[in-house]
Amino acid sequence: MGIKFVGTKPLDVDLIVEGYALNKMGHSLIREENRQEFQADEDAYMAKFGLSEKAVAAVKSRDRDEMMAVGLNMYFYGKIRFVTGGGGPASA
């Protein structure tokens, strides 16, 4: 099935560390002004949060698995999906 819950046994610290900026950016998208800022200039917004090159590429891929591979936590995925035009609820 390939299910990987970020950080369950064994705790994947590298992934937690790598994913932090991406998840922090995801959380920021609960504010309308931040969603607008992201949509106006995605690259600048990602730079503001210090996303790694890999994380930027993952967000641009719009692919859930690619984002998870750089540490995206599921609960922040929907917020990024929403702001990148993927539709669906922002969380579930």
Partner 1 sequence: MARIVGSVATSHTPIIGKTIAKKRENDPELGLKPFFDAFPRVREWVAEVDPDVVVLVYNDHGVNFSLENRPAFAIGTAPTFTNADEGNGAPPPRTFQSDPHLAWHIAQSLIEDEFDIATCQEMAFDHGGTTALDLLWPDHKVIPLIPVEINAVQPPLPTPRRIFKLGQALGKAIGSYPKDLKVMFLATGGLSHTIGIGGYINEEFDAYCMETLANNPIEIARFTSDDIVANGGEQGLEFLTWVVARGALPDKVDVVTSVYHKPISHTGGGMMVMEAAER
Which structure tokens are listed for 59? 């967000």
Closest to partner 1 by CB, 16 vs 56, is 16
Least Å distance, CB 52 to partner 1, is 16
Angle between helix axes 32-40 and 74-83 (nearest 10 degrees) is 60
Which structure tokens are listed for 89? 């609820």
Least Å distance, CB 89 to partner 1, is 4
Least Å distance, CB 70 to partner 1, is 14
Closest to partner 1 by CB, 6 vs 56, is 6
Long-range contacts of 55-59 (CB under 8 A, 24+ apart): 55/18, 55/19, 55/21, 55/22, 58/22, 59/22, 59/84
Closest to partner 1 by CB, 29 vs 58, is 29
List interacting residues with partner 1 (CB under 8 A): 3, 5-9, 11, 16, 20, 23-24, 26-27, 29-32, 35, 64, 73-79, 81-83, 89-92
Q: How far apart are CA 51 and CA 76, in angstroms?
A: 15
